[in-house]
Amino acid sequence: SVEASIPEPQRAAWQKFSAEPFNTKEQFEQEAVRHIETTLARSLYNCDEGAAYGGTALAFRDRMVIDWNRTQQNQTFADQKRVYYLSLEFLMGRALDNAMLNVQQKDSAKAGLADLGFRMEDIINQERDAALGNGGLGRLAACFLDSLASLNYPAWGYGLRYRYGIFKQEIIDGYQVEIPDYWLDFNPWEFPRHDVTVDIQFFGNVRKYVDDSGKQVSVWENGEIVQAVAYDVPIPGYATPTTNNLRLWSSKAASGEFDFQKFNSGEYESSVADQQRAETISAVLYPNDNLERGKELRLKQQYFWCAASLFDIVRRFKKSKKAWKEFPNAVAIQLNDTHPTLAIPELQRILIDQEGLEWDEAWSIVQKTFGYTNHTVLPEALEKWSVPLFQHLLPRHLQIIYDINLHFLQYVERNFPKDREMLGRVSIIEESQPKMVRMAYLALIGSHKVNGVAELHSDLIKTTIFKDFVKIYGPDKFTNVTNGITPRRWLHQANPRLSELIASKLGGYDFLKDLTLLHKLENYVDDKAFRKEFQEIKFANKVRLAKHIKDTNGVSVNPAALFDIQVKRIHEYKRQQLNIFGVIHRYLTIKSMSPEERKKLAPRVSIFGGKAAPGYWMAKTIIHLVNAVGAVVNNDKDVGDLLKCVFVEDYNVSKAEIIVPASDISEHISTAGTEASGTSNMKFVLNGGLIIGTCDGANIEITREIGEENIFLFGNLSEDVEDLRHAHFYSKFEFDPQLQRVFDAIKEGRFGDAGQFSALVNGIVEHGDYYLVSDDFKSYIDTHTLIDEAYKDQESWVSKCITSVARMGFFSSDRCIDEYAEMIWNVEPLSPTKKAKGV
C-alpha cells in the first residue's frame, strides 16, 4: 500500500498534521478568512466582492486538492487501465459553483458568506469563464470530464493552456466586435508544475544509418526546441471523493545554453524575441468552429500538445516496468476529432525510433491504443495539412505517415485487387497541388474504433466520408455514441429550483447520478401542485433572463410572452438566417393586421445569441441583420409586446446557464444531415423547454425518447438534401410568396441599407441556396403557427414539458461515458478510498 512505503515515525508526523476537508459553515469561514487575510493580503476593511470570491475559491481549491492527491495516489497504486481524453478544447465555464455543488458544500459556503456580509450570487458572478473552446465540441469535453470523475473512472484530460480563450463579443452599432479574452490574471484553479516539463522539437532533419546489428535507424535532429510546462486543474466528481486531473500545456522557450550565449553576447533583444516566439504556440485558441484553415501555427499547437501529452503518458507507463505489449492494457487514448491525430505517428515514432520496436509490433500497439471521435461531415471542416508544410515542420512524422500509408495501401490492394481507383480515394495523401495529408483517414487507420456522436451522424459517416473504409475494415470498426450533457451543471447548477422540485418528488438527488430516475416524474404530470410549481419556476427563470436583457440591451421584454431562443455558434448550416427571416415574416404579418386581429396573437420574444468566427463574413452579416430587425421591431408602436427581437451579447457557458432554463421554445434548425448531434437541444428539454427542430443530429433521438407529440419537427429529410440542392441549379425557382415578401421588405430598406444584406439574400435567390432555406421556409413558419396555438393551451403545454423532462434520462453524459468505457476503452471504474486525507 501507499502507507507501507514510508517509515512509521514520519508517517505519524504526516498523519498528525495532514489537511482535512472542511464540512461546516464555520470551517468554511475560517478557511476563507485565512485566505483573504494571508494569501490575498486583504482585511475586513478592504475585502470587496473580488477578494471574497478569491477567498472562497481558494478555500474550495484547498478542499479539492486533498481529494485530488488522494485520488491520484489511489489510481497509481491500483494500476488499472487509464483513459486519456485528448482535446484541443475544454470549454469549462466557471469552476466555483460547480466545485461547491460537486463536493456538496454550497450551503455551508452560502451561510458562511452571508455571515461575512456577501451574497452567494454576487460572489459566483465575480468569476470569469474558462473559455478554452469554441462550442459544442469543447463543451462536450468538459461534460465528459465531469462524468468521468463522477463515475470514478481513472481518467485524465490533456489540452492546451491558451493565454487567450475564445474572444469576448461586443455588439457595436449592430456589428460584432472581438475583444481578446486575457483570462489568467487570477486563476485559482490551476497548479503550475514547473518541474513537469517536456522538450518539444520542430523542424530539423532526419539522419538515417545502419547500426551494428544491421538495423535501419532514423534520428530526428538539429531542430528547434520549445518547452512544454504542465498546469494541472482538479476536476471534482459529484458526490464522490474522486477528483481527476486536467493537464494543460503551456509553451515557453527552452532554457538551453543557446539563449544564454545570446544573452551574454549582447543579443538581449533577439533572446527575448525567441522567448516570445516560443510562447506564441499556446497563446491563442483558434476561433473557428467547423472550419479548418491550414495555418502553420495551428499545426504547431497540435504537435506541441500531442507530443507533450504522449511523452507524459509514456513516462508514466514506463514507471510500471511492464512490457510494451501491455501498453494498450494500461492506456486508452481518445481523440476528440482529428485535432490530436498527430499523437498516432508520434506514438509510432517513440516506439520504433526511441524504444527500438519493430514496425508491425509498434503499429499493433498504436491501433489498440487509440479511438477516434468524428464530429462533422462538413467538407470545409475536415482537416488537411499540406505535405510541404509537414515536411518542413515535422520531417520524421511525414516519413512515418508515408510508411503507414504504404502498409495500408498494400493491404487494400491485396484485398481489393479489382478496384484500382479505390487506392487513390482512400490514400492518406491526397494527390492535389500541393499534396495534402488527410487527417481523418490517418485518425481512422490508426484507431481501433471510430465513432460518430448521434445515430444519424454515425450512419452518415459510414455512407459518405468513410464509405470505402467500411468496405476495407468491415462495419464493426464503426460505432455510435450519442452525445450527452452533465446534469450536474445543466440542471442542478443552472436551474437549482427545478432540481430541488424534482428531488422533493423523487426522494432525494439520486437522479443527478442516474438520470433515468427522472422517469418517475411522469407520475406527477397531472399533479396540480407540482404543475403549478413547475410553471412558477419557468416564469422565475424567464424573469431572470428578462432582467439580464434589460440590463445589457436596454430592451424590456414581457416574461409572460413565449420565449423563443436560438443560442449557438453562428453558422449558415445552423440557419440562424431561417430564424430571422421567420421573425421578419411575423413582423410583416403583424403590420398587415387590424388591431382586433392583433389581439388574438400570442406575444413572442425572439432571442438570439452566439459568436461568429472573426473571418466568417456571412455569419457576421446574419448577426447584423438580427440587430437591424430588432432595432425596427422593438421600437414599432404597432407591434408593442407582440414581438421583440434581441441579440444577447457574448454568449458563453455562464450566459447559457441563465438562458437555457428560461426558454419556452428553442431552435435546432440545421439543414438535415449537417449538425452532427447538437447538445444544447438536450439542455433545453432537460430544463422544461420544448424544441422546434429539423430531423437532424440528436433531435431524432430526442424525439424517439420524449415522443413525437412533444416536439415540433419540420423540414426536409437528410436523404432528400442532395436532390433538392441539385434542383436549385436545374429548375427555375418560384420562391414561396411569404419568403419573397420577406426578401422584398429587406430590399426596400426597411431594416436599413439593403446592400448590407444582399449577399445573404442572393445566396438563396441566385446562388443555389446550399442550406435549403427556401425549401424549408413554409414548413418552418407553419410549425411556428402550431407553436403559437399550442402555447395558448397552457395546460397541455405544461404536460408536454414535464413529460419531456421525465424522458430525458438517456441524454446524461454519464450514459455516454459508460458506453465509451465499455465499447471503446475497455476500462472499469475504480472505487475511491472512503476518506479524503493526506498521505
Q: In this chain, which stretch among 288-296, 341-349, 558-566, 758-766 interacts with ligand T68, using CB under 6 A?
A: 288-296
Least distance (Å) between residue 615 CB and ligand T68: 13
Give the residue carrying C-alpha cell 459553483: 97
Spatial contact of 452 and 374, defined as CB atoms under 8 Å apart: yes
Least distance (Å) between residue 747 CB and ligand T68: 32
Q: Which is nearer to ligand T68, 136 or 234 (CB)?
A: 136
Q: Binding ligand T68 by CB under 6 A: which of 152, 245, 288, 694?
A: 288
Least distance (Å) between residue 678 CB and ligand T68: 5
Q: Binding ligand T68 by CB under 6 A: which of 21, 93, 136, 610?
A: 136
Q: Which is nearer to ligand T68, 289 or 775 (CB)?
A: 289
Q: How far is CA 221 from CA 224, 344, 598, 706, in A?
A: 9, 20, 76, 59
Calpha distance 104→494 (Å, rounded): 15
Say how many residues touch ligand T68, by CB under 6 A: 19
DSSP characters over 460-486: HHHHTTTHHHHHHH-GGGEEE----B-
Q: Which is nearer to ligand T68, 134 or 671 (CB)?
A: 134
Q: Which is nearer to ligand T68, 243 or 483 (CB)?
A: 483
Spatial contact of 496 and 469, defined as CB atoms under 8 Å apart: no
Q: In this chain, which stretch among 143-151, 373-381, 725-733, 766-774 interacts with ligand T68, using CB under 6 A?
A: 373-381
Least distance (Å) between residue 680 CB and ligand T68: 8
Q: In this chain, which stretch among 228-236, 284-292, 323-331, 796-804 interacts with ligand T68, using CB under 6 A?
A: 284-292
Residues 679-718 within binding reach of ligand T68 (CB under 6 A): 679, 697
Least distance (Å) between residue 613 CB and ligand T68: 10
Q: Which is nearer to ligand T68, 336 or 348 (CB)?
A: 336
Q: Binding ligand T68 by CB under 6 A: which of 271, 282, 290, 671?
A: 290
Calpha distance 464→695 (Å, rounded): 18
Strands 191-202 and 82-86: unpaired
Spatial contact of 773 and 578, defined as CB atoms under 8 Å apart: yes
Question: Rounded to 5 degrees, what are φ and ψ at 171?
Answer: -105, 115
Q: In this chain, which stretch among 274-282, 287-295, 326-334, 358-366 interacts with ligand T68, using CB under 6 A?
A: 287-295
Which of 155, 158, 211 lies closest to 346 in space, CA to CA?
A: 158
817 part of the interface to ligand T68, by CB under 6 A: no
Q: In this chain, which stretch among 51-59, 356-364, 657-665, 676-684 interacts with ligand T68, using CB under 6 A?
A: 676-684
Which of 18, 293, 273, 156 lies closest to 827 in space, CA to CA?
A: 156
236 part of the interface to ligand T68, by CB under 6 A: no
* Strand-pair partners of 449: 371
Q: Binding ligand T68 by CB under 6 A: which of 57, 557, 565, 676?
A: 676
Residues 441-470 within binding reach of ligand T68 (CB under 6 A): 453
Question: Rounded to 5 degrees, what are φ and ψ at 612?
Answer: -100, 140
Least distance (Å) between residue 169 CB and ligand T68: 16
Q: Which is nearer to ligand T68, 140 or 151 (CB)?
A: 140
Least distance (Å) between residue 681 CB and ligand T68: 9
Q: Which is nearer to ligand T68, 135 or 446 (CB)?
A: 135
Spatial contact of 174 and 122, defined as CB atoms under 8 Å apart: no
Q: Which three cell numbers stand for residue 417?
A: 485487387
Give the residue carrying C-alpha cell 482535446: 87
For residues 318, 316, 443, 252, the Cα torsion angle rounded to the nearest 10 degrees is -120
Least distance (Å) between residue 702 CB and ligand T68: 12
134 part of the interface to ligand T68, by CB under 6 A: yes
Least distance (Å) between residue 262 CB and ligand T68: 36
The one-letter code for the residue type at 142 is: A
140 part of the interface to ligand T68, by CB under 6 A: yes
Q: Which three cell numbers stand for residue 765?
A: 435567390
Least distance (Å) between residue 513 CB and ligand T68: 23
Which of 539, 548, 568, 554 lies closest to 653 in space, CA to CA?
A: 568
Q: Which residues are catalytic?
A: 375, 568-569, 574, 679, 683
Spatial contact of 122 and 49, defined as CB atoms under 8 Å apart: yes
Q: Which is nearer to ligand T68, 666 or 677 (CB)?
A: 677
* HEC sequence for 421-440: HHHHHHCCEECCCCCEEEHH
Least distance (Å) between residue 661 CB and ligand T68: 20
Calpha distance 424→43 (Å, rounded): 70
Q: What is the per-residue binding string for ligand T68 in 790-809, x denoting contact by CB under 6 A?
A: --------------------
Q: Which is nearer to ligand T68, 253 or 570 (CB)?
A: 570
Q: CB-based contacts of 58: which residues, under 8 Å, 6+ apart?
A: 31, 32, 35, 39, 40, 188
Least distance (Å) between residue 289 CB and ligand T68: 3
Q: Binding ligand T68 by CB under 6 A: which of 127, 129, 675, 814?
A: 675
Least distance (Å) between residue 437 CB and ligand T68: 16
Q: Which is nearer to ligand T68, 577 or 677 (CB)?
A: 677
Q: Which is nearer to ligand T68, 613 or 639 (CB)?
A: 613
Calpha distance 362→839 (Å, rounded): 38
Going by the DSSP 8-state scheme, the letter that residue 817 receives in this structure is: H
Q: Binding ligand T68 by CB under 6 A: which of 54, 135, 345, 715?
A: 135
Q: How far is CA 769 from CA 578, 579, 748, 762, 772, in A?
A: 12, 15, 21, 8, 5
Q: Binding ligand T68 by CB under 6 A: which of 127, 259, 289, 705?
A: 289
Q: In this chain, which stretch among 188-196, 283-291, 587-595, 726-734 interacts with ligand T68, using CB under 6 A?
A: 283-291
Give the residue carrying C-alpha cell 386581429: 597
677 part of the interface to ligand T68, by CB under 6 A: yes
Spatial contact of 663 and 683, defined as CB atoms under 8 Å apart: no
56 part of the interface to ligand T68, by CB under 6 A: no
The one-letter code for the residue type at 608 is: F
Q: Which residue lies nearest ligand T68, judged by its C-beta?
A: 136
Q: In this chain, which stretch among 161-169, 282-290, 534-542, 582-590 interacts with ligand T68, using CB under 6 A?
A: 282-290
Burial class (CB in 10 A: 0-12, 13-18, 19+), 664: buried
Strands 224-236 and 384-386: unpaired
Residues 374-393 within binding reach of ligand T68 (CB under 6 A): 375-376, 381
End-to-end, the C-alpha distance of the chain in Å comes to 11
Q: CB-based contacts of 226: which residues, under 8 Å, 6+ apart?
A: 199, 200, 202, 251, 252, 253, 254, 278, 281, 304
Spatial contact of 563 and 687, defined as CB atoms under 8 Å apart: no
Distance from CA of residue 259 to its chain's centroid? 38
Q: Which is nearer to ligand T68, 135 or 487 (CB)?
A: 135
Q: In this chain, which stretch among 207-215, 320-328, 419-427, 677-685 interacts with ligand T68, using CB under 6 A?
A: 677-685
Calpha distance 38→25 (Å, rounded): 20
Calpha distance 202→296 (Å, rounded): 12
Q: What is the per-residue binding string for ligand T68 in 482-521, x denoting contact by CB under 6 A?
A: -x--------------------------------------
678 part of the interface to ligand T68, by CB under 6 A: yes
Q: Which is nearer to ligand T68, 541 or 677 (CB)?
A: 677
Q: What is the per-residue binding string for ligand T68 in 94-133, x denoting contact by CB under 6 A?
A: ----------------------------------------
Task: List interacting residues with ligand T68 (CB under 6 A).
Answer: 134-137, 140, 288-290, 375-376, 381, 453, 483, 675-679, 697
